[in-house]
Amino acid sequence: MGKCARHPDQETDYICLKTNVYVCEECMTCKDPTNYCKFRESCTIYFNEKEGESSD
């Protein structure tokens, strides 16, 4: 578990495998979705973004 890059007071399990940066649920967005990411198929952040789009 690490601390969110933008909210250092919040601990989180979510980490961007491409950038190696921890993000909390509030900050959970892909920082560079157009750039190639070899982790995209297993990325929790990317998956949650896609789930949110499909429920709209």
3-state secondary structure the chain: CEECCCCCCCEECCEECCCCEECCCCCCCCCCCCCCCCCHHHCHHHHHHHHHHHCC
**Residue 26 pLDDT more than 80?**
yes
pTM for the full model? 0.72
**Angle 51-35-45 from CA coordinates, rounded to 5°:** 30
Q: Which residue has the higher pLDDT, 50 or 14?
A: 14
Per-residue pLDDT band at 53 (split at 50, 70, 90): low
